[in-house]
Structures are given as structure tokens and as C-alpha cells.
Structure 1
Amino acid sequence: MNLLLVVGQVYQPLQHFWESRRTAHFLSVALVWVFVASMVLAGVNYLGVFRLRGLWGQVHFLQAVEISFTLLLLFEMISLVFVIPQSIANSIGKQIEILSLILLRSSFKEFSHYNFAVPLQSQLESVYKMIADGVGALFVFLLLSVYYGLQRHRSITQEGADKQQFVALKQFISLLVLLTLLAMSGYDLYHMFRLGVWVQSADRFYLILIFADLLFMLVAFRYTLHYPDIFRYSAFVLVTVFIRFSLLAPAYYNALLGLFSVVFAIAVVYFHSLFTDGRLRYLRNPAPPE
């Protein structure tokens, strides 16, 4: 119990810091400066003023958007950490938000490879990939509004010690995810400076989220054994698995799998509410004994 108290003392200041207006302003300024710095690097490389080594020498103008989007994606991943303790439904919603940004980033990545000096006909494959990822992101965004509109939060614990303990355990899981994310980001930076190759770890982050959701589900079983809640938590873990598959899938299939993940999440929320409402009506008006 003392450990959970320490977790709360660490988590709450971090959450307050990350969600403060000052931090939001700082992150906005950081994104602008990263974009400007990328454009300056691209200008230096384009003019050939002097030769830069490694990745620095490969930056070009169209890539500046992709670099800024990658940093924005990292910020959204950190924000997800502070959504996890609220509810697993909100956590899944945030994961879907990040999925839409990943699809947009993938579209911009294709755009960064576009060569305006070459006829469009010879680059149609790249354009088709851009369109597929962009349209996929748009439909994910549209379906996300349906997902949030169908949500009806029900607490699985009563007010008091059980609820406080449950929240503290979720905060502990969130801190583990945050430490893992920071470690992966640090490794990506080391890999970039050491080998001159940037590898985005978004797909690995979703692998961590699968285990975090599983742990979250097992912790929830300590406080509820009601079948609809067990099904809901387990199905939400499967949503994260589907999103992970979409990140590993090739072009075109990634957007389709992403859309399927969102539709599946919507179905889980809708049918869980339908089942719960029917169960409540049955408990209030039980059938007469035969």
C-alpha cells in the first residue's frame, strides 16, 4: 500500500506538469523550432554550402513535415500514458487517435519521397499510397467520433478504498509504460546518431500497450468478475492487437486494418451497452418462476 502511495505522489505531479498550459506552449514552440531547423538543414543541403554527415546531410524540404509529425507523434504517445488511468475505453480512444496520426504521417512520408522534377505518371504508386493513408486517417477520425459518442462509463468499483487502490494500480501501469516509451525513444536517438538511420518505434510502442492492456485487464479482474466487464476488457486488448497488425501491414492493407480496428472497438462499446442494459432490465424485472 505504501508503494501505491508513492506512485500517486510521483504520477500526479507528472500529470499536472504534462497537461499544464505552460507545457503545451513549450511543446508548440518546440514543434515550430524543429520544423524551422529542418528547413534550414534542408536549405544547407540543397545549396551545398558545406557537406553534412549522416542523416543531417539527407534532410530535404519535404522531409521537414515528416520530422515535425514524428515529434508530434511522440508527444501524443506521452499524452496517452496519462489517459490510461482514466478508463480503458478512453485509453483505446487515444490509441485510435494516435493511429490516425500515424496514417497521416505515413502519407507525409510518401510525400517526402516525391520528386517534382519527375513526371507524375512514373510516381503514381507513391501517390496512391498517399491517398490510401490519407483517406484511411480521415475515416478513422470520422469513426472515432462515433466511438466517443457511444461511450457510457460505468465504474467497476465502489467509492472508497477499493476505488483509490484501483486508480493507483492503473497509475503504476502508466508509469511503467512511460518509462518504456522514454527508453525506446532514447534507444532510437542512440541508433540514429550511432548508425545514421532513424527507426520509428511506434509499432513497438503498441506492442508494449498490448502487455499494458493485459495487465490492466488482470488488475480489473480483482474488482469485478461480471461477464460483460470481462468481455469488454478482453475485447479492448484485442483492439490494440489489431492496431499493432495495421502498423505492420503493407501499404493499403494498413489503412484497411486500421479501419477494421476502429469498427471493432465501436462494436465492442455498442454491444456491451446493449448487453448491460438488457441485463439490468432482466434483474429489475425477473421472469416469474415456472
Structure 2
Amino acid sequence: MQYLTAFVDYTYPPLRTFWESRRTAHYLSVALVTTFSLSMALAVVNYWHLLALPGLLARCHFLQAVEVSFTLLLFFEMVSLVFVIPDSIANSIGKQIEILSLVLLRSSFKEFSHYNFERPLQSQLESVYKMVADGGGALLVFLLLSLYYGVQRHRAITPEADRAGFVQLKQLMALLVLAALLLLIGHDVMQALRTGHWVQSVDRFYLLLIYADVLLLLVAFRYTLHYPDIFRYSAFVLVTVFIRFSLLAPVYYNALLGVFSVVFAIAVVYFHTVFTDGRLAYIARHQPRPPAAAGEVAAPPQPRE
């Protein structure tokens, strides 16, 4: 256990510092611009038939350049989510919702990449309706996300003496999720090169997050047995399940499930706050009063509601 703790302390803080630095943000921006430029260059080559490109490269066209760039941006956001896991499960759920909004936008751009400007609009109305549904769903998720962050009220669920150990366990979990994410992306790239079809495994990443959230829930039992905290952890795992369902659902249903996931997350945070405040108020009203000192008149008992 001591070696594992030393490994986490040696690995996680430098990785997070590197990822959240301004220099890394500059490199990521350069990577996005370069990816978009190369995609446009490939589209020019394919449009003018300048070269016979193999497999996936031969199907790259102008509208797909936006989709490819959004795919890379989505990967960067998933890595950022990994580094939010040790902060709090509420922040982690918020980051998952952010990624959900980007997935919906990406789905809208993906539908746009299939649009043919040489055909009349009437013959492609179904494609337009799908774009509107995904884009509108992303906008609603974005709006509800502001409400989610607004109703949050962070409370420490672990004693001060145990907090450092709990954070280290979550950092270890984040490193494992990061390794699994890199393996998933590597598998996607290999599949694309072999088959010529790019299939991004965002839904499998959310499945991985479900297992990680369940494990964090079980670990939390070591530090707290308070019913509202356990309920909140369990309900947040269910939010991740709902988000994964929305990624697997067909068009129209995916946006509805995504919006419902955010509404459910807002309800969990709000009602947890209401329950906790009510419970603390109840304890304050009914806790036994200390006996009065000699010569001091005891306060009369307050009537119970």
C-alpha cells in the first residue's frame, strides 16, 4: 500500500499540472487547428481527385473536417474529465454533462456532414430535423448545466483525518480510468485504419465511468455511512447510466434522455441539500440541552412541532 501511495503521489500531480497548464492548452489548440487544416487538405485532394488515397482518408470531404475536429475536442474533454474525478463526484457529473452537450453538438455536425447542397432542401428535411433535435438538445443541456452548478453546495463527507487517504484513492481511480481511455482511443484508431470506418467509443467510455462511480461509491462506505451522502453517490451513478443510454438511443430520443439526465442530476443535488439542511435543523432542535450550572436558571423547554 505504501508503494501504491508513493506511485500516485509521484504520477498524478505532475500529470494534472501538465494537462491544466497554459502551455498544454496552447499545444491542444495547435493540434485542433492542425487537424482541421489537414482534414480540409484531404477534402481538397479527394474533391479534385488529385491522389488515390486509401480507406478512411479517401472518404474525407469538406463538411467532415468539422466533425473530425469535434471528435478530437471531445477526446480532450474526456481527458479533462479524468482529472476532475478526484475533486468531487458532483464536479465529475458536471463534466460528464458538459461532454454530453458536446456529443449532441457533434451528432448535429455529423448529420450536417452528410448534407448535400446540390439537392433541394425538401428532399433532405429529415436530416435537417435531426440536426435541429441534436442542436436543440445540446442547448437545453447547456442551459440546465448552469442550474446544476448553481444549486451545488459542496460539503466534505469525510473526516479531516481520512480526507487525504480518500483523495489518494480517487486519484488512483483517475489514473486507471485515464489508462483505460487511452486504450479505448488506441483501439478506435486501429479499427479505423483496418476497416476504413471511424467508430468512436464514447458510450464505452461512459460504461467505464459507471464502473468507476460504483467503485467510488463502495469506497465511500469506508468513510461515511450517512444516508443522504450514500443516496447522493448512488443517484449520481444512475445519472451516468442515463447519460450512457442517451448516447445509445436513436435520434430525438437521445436528446430527450440527455435533457432528462441533467434534470435528474439537478433534482439529486437540490433535494440532497434540502434533506441535509432539514436533518441538521431537526438535530439542532431535538439534541439534549446541557444541564444548567449552579445558580443559573435553566431555559424553559421549547414546544416540539
Bin the TM-score by the shorter chain.
Answer: over 0.9
Residue 158 of structure 1 and its aligned partner are, at CA, apart by 2.1
CA distance in 2 between partners of 1:255 and 1:204 (Å): 18
- 1:137 pairs with 2:138: yes
Check the 8 A contact 1:5/1:168 in 2, yes or no.
no
Q: How does 1:197-236 map to 2 (within 5 A)?
A: 197-236=197-236
Consecutive unaligned residues of structure 1, counting only runs of 5 or more, are none
Q: Cα deviation per residue 1:119-172 (whole Å; 9 max; x = unaligned)?
A: 111100000000000000000000000000000000111223x11100000001
Task: With the length of structure 1 as denominator, give the TM-score of the two structures.
Answer: 0.98
Deviation at 1:27, TM superposition (A): 0.1
Q: 3-state SS of the aligned residue for 2:102? A: helix
Partner of residue 70, structure 1: 71
Q: Which residue of 1 aligns with 2:292?
A: none
How is 1:71-86 mapped onto 2 (pairs within 5 angstroms)?
71-86=72-87
Alignment-derived partner of residue 33 in structure 1: 34
Larger mean CA deviation between 2-11 and 170-179 belongs to: 2-11
CA separation in 2, counterparts of 1:274 and 1:130? Answer: 38
Moved more, 4-13 or 134-143: 4-13
Q: Is residue 269 of structure 1 aligned with residue 240 of structure 2?
A: no
Contact 2:159 2:223 in 1 (8 A): no
Q: What TM-score, normalized to structure 2? A: 0.93
Kindly report which structure 2 residues correspond to 1:2-13, keeping only aligned pairs within 5 A, or say none: 2=2, 3-13=4-14
Q: 1:158-197 maps to which residues of 2 (within 5 A)?
A: 158-160=159-161, 162-197=162-197
Mean Cα deviation higher: 90-99 or 194-203? 194-203
3-state DSSP class of the match of 2:239? helix
Secondary structure class of the residue paired with 1:255: helix
Number of equivalent positions: 289
User: Which stretches of structure 1, 4 residues or more, deviate above 6 A after TM superposition?
Assistant: 287-290
Partner Cα separation in structure 2 for residue 282 and residue 5 of structure 1: 43
- For the residue of structure 2 that corresponds to 1:61, the secondary structure is coil
- Mapped pair 1:245 → 2:245: yes
SS in 2 for 1:28: helix
For 1:136, the aligned partner's letter is: G
User: Which residue pairs with 2:255 in the alignment?
Assistant: 255
SS at match of 2:155: coil
Q: How much has 1:235 moved relative to structure 2? A: 0.1
SS in 2 for 1:82: helix
Against the structure 1 CA distance between its residues 125 and 281, is the aligned structure 2 distance closer, same or farther, given a 3 Å change threshold?
A: same
Any conservation in 2 of the 1:39–1:61 contact (CA below 8 Å)? yes
Q: Which whole-Å CA distance do the structure 1 matches of 2:198 and 2:7 have between them?
A: 36
Separation in structure 1 between the aligned mates of residue 244 and residue 138 of structure 2, nearest angstrom: 15
For 1:114, the equivalent position in structure 2 comes to: 115
Larger CA Rg, structure 1 vs 2: 2
Q: Where does residue 15 of structure 1 map in the other structure? A: 16
- Which residue type is aligned with residue 55 of structure 1? L
Whole-Å Cα distance in 2 between the matches of residues 268 and 67 of structure 1?
35
Between 188-197 and 20-29, the greater mean CA deviation after superposition: 188-197
In the alignment, the residues of structure 1 paired with residue 213 and residue 76 of structure 2 have an alpha-carbon distance, to the nearest angstrom, of 20
> Equivalent residue for 2:46?
45
Q: CA-to-partner distance for each residue in 1:210-241, whole Å, 9 max, x for gaps? A: 00000111111110000000100000000000
Aligned-pair identity (%): 73
Superposed CA offset, 1:181-231 (max 9, x none): 000000011111111111111010000000000011111111000000010
Question: What do you get for the CA RMSD once the two structures are aligned?
Answer: 1.2
CA positional deviation for 1:289: 8.5
